[in-house]
Structure 1
Amino acid sequence: MTQHAPPAATPAAEPPRRRRARPAKLGTTVVEQLVDDIVRGVLAPGTALPPEADLCAEFGVSRTVIRESVKVVQEKGLVRIEHGRGTQVTDPRQWNLLDDVVLTSVIAHDENVTFLDELVSVRTALEADMAAAAALAHTADDDARIAAELGAMRASLHSAPDFGAADVRFHDMIMAASRNRLGRAIVNSIHDKARTSMRYHGEYNEAVMRRTLDEHRAISDAIAAGDPDAAAAAMRRHITDSWNRRRPTGPAS
């Protein structure tokens, strides 16, 4: 009698993979608008956000989108969700000013330029320190990259956009040469957001560009000479003087 092999066991079916949620554009819009309303004072510190139903009607989205958006705003430090009291707007001292959305909004509504003054002060301290570090840690490759951007600035005196781009790269090459990764990340973050404001970057003209080029050359020379004190002083003088030249004198119109 012929014996038949038992049928092969059927492999267990794998559980279906969970569908990944796609980024919600509507949620992004709600977050940005709530942050903007809080920063410009429409929703004042200590007050409660409008009820969910009102926010749903205002933005034309579901309660789920509103709830998730409010959680994101809370993560940025602008609101505090309290059971029994609703969602309260927090004191500005609790805001995460390094968050991209918050920083962009604060800069946009900096009517008296006080926040930009603070930003320049922080940038000056960090970049002066990194210029000193670059003078001690720079390599031949670092020197070549810094010199290349200085040359790009010199070659772009006829083009303000090209000059400005080379200016940013020059500073970044010095920060890279400092080996201070955190300082470089902080400066690039705050500087990139600030540069979206015309009140921060001002306007270039040939006289301004030539003076800026001279200031950058002094920084480059001090780093190449391995003089940390001179490099820090030149960087501090450049950033401070440059801001004083272009700083708006009154509130935005």
Structure 2
Amino acid sequence: MPSSEPTASARTRRPIERIGATVLREFVQAIVAGEYGPGQILPTEAELTAEFGVSRTVIRETMKRLQEKGMITVAQGRGTHVQPITSWNVLDPLVLSTMISNDRTLGVLDDLSVVRSALEAEMAGDAAATVDDQTRLILRERIENMAESVSDSSVFRDADVQFHLAVMDLSGNALAANIARALILHAVHSDRYTGLDPTRAFELTLAEHEAVVEAIDAGDARRAREAMRDHILGSWQRRRLPTEKSPGM
């Protein structure tokens, strides 16, 4: 009887979706790392098909996805040009995570922390301006979770993120919350963003969060904004890794 076992080639063949995802990641990595610079024309479709060993369909789909991410433009008869970083969709999960993983100087994470602090400061102010008993209860629960996990770094970091997400939700500012949520959830998985924990880092972080809660609890929007901004920027500077030197320096 014919064997029902899949052949070796069938077992090792990658589905077209996985192949396309792999090629897309390689292109995003190449553009972010500067292997293809702004304004540069990418190789032809035929050349890319030969280079990656994939079908023209995979290459065309990859180019379409890169266009959607703002990383290239395709002009009939003029080729495919790489776009500058100002055109990229930096909130796209693949683009953002690749930028962070290639952030040797930490400039991307510096900028990310500034943007986070501005957005989350305003959201903390909004939460304070509309504070009610339910808001107070939610934030107290988040603070208690952090306080109970100071001795466990992974649990504490998760409780920290949940606190920030709660403030975002309580602000009522859905647009700012969506942007800030994308920034924090993709950055938090990076060792560069986690950085180094100085002495009593979690205790300091907990105290800063308590200052945010006290300001929101009091309905003091100005103080809530200041406390959140100071926390995000101060926490980043405490744990920021030394800047890596460029090759050859």
* TM-score normalized with structure 2 length: 0.88
Residues 207, 182 of structure 1: CA spacing in aligned structure 2 closer, same or farther, 3 A cutoff? same
Distance apart, 1:50 and its partner CA = 1.7
Distance apart, 1:136 and its partner CA = 1.1
Residues 206, 161 of structure 1: CA spacing in aligned structure 2 closer, same or farther, 3 A cutoff? farther
The 2-side partners of 1:180 and 1:252 are apart by: 40
User: What residue number does 1:8 align with?
Assistant: none
User: What residue number does 1:114 align with?
Assistant: 107
User: What residue number does 2:135 align with?
Assistant: 142
User: What residue number does 1:34 align with?
Assistant: 27
The 2-side partners of 1:180 and 1:85 are apart by: 43
The 2-side partners of 1:177 and 1:46 are apart by: 43
Code of the aligned partner of 2:99: V
Q: Secondary structure at the match of 1:24?
A: helix
User: What residue number does 1:235 align with?
Assistant: 228
Unaligned runs of 5+ in 1: 1-21
The 2-side partners of 1:140 and 1:203 are apart by: 37
Larger radius of gyration: 1
User: What residue number does 1:92 align with?
Assistant: 85
Q: Percent identity, aligned pairs only? A: 42
Residues 23, 61 of structure 1: CA spacing in aligned structure 2 closer, same or farther, 3 A cutoff? closer
Distance apart, 1:101 and its partner CA = 1.2
Distance apart, 1:206 and its partner CA = 6.4
Question: For residues 92-115 of structure 1, what are the alpha-carbon distances to aligned partners after superposition, in whole Å with 9 as ceiling and x for unaligned?
Answer: 221111111111111111111111
The alignment's C-alpha RMSD in Å is 1.7
4+ runs deviating over 3 angstroms = 203-206
Q: 1:201 aligns with which of 184, 194, 216?
A: 194
Unaligned runs of 5+ in 2: 1-14
Residues 62, 80 of structure 1: CA spacing in aligned structure 2 closer, same or farther, 3 A cutoff? same
The 2-side partners of 1:37 and 1:58 are apart by: 14
Distance apart, 1:203 and its partner CA = 3.9
Residues 64, 86 of structure 1: CA spacing in aligned structure 2 closer, same or farther, 3 A cutoff? same
The 2-side partners of 1:23 and 1:222 are apart by: 53
User: What residue number does 1:247 align with?
Assistant: 240
Distance apart, 1:150 and its partner CA = 0.5
* TM-score normalized with structure 1 length: 0.87
The 2-side partners of 1:23 and 1:128 are apart by: 44
| Contact in 2 for aligned 1:127/1:235 (Cα 8 Å) | yes
User: What residue number does 2:55 align with?
Assistant: 62
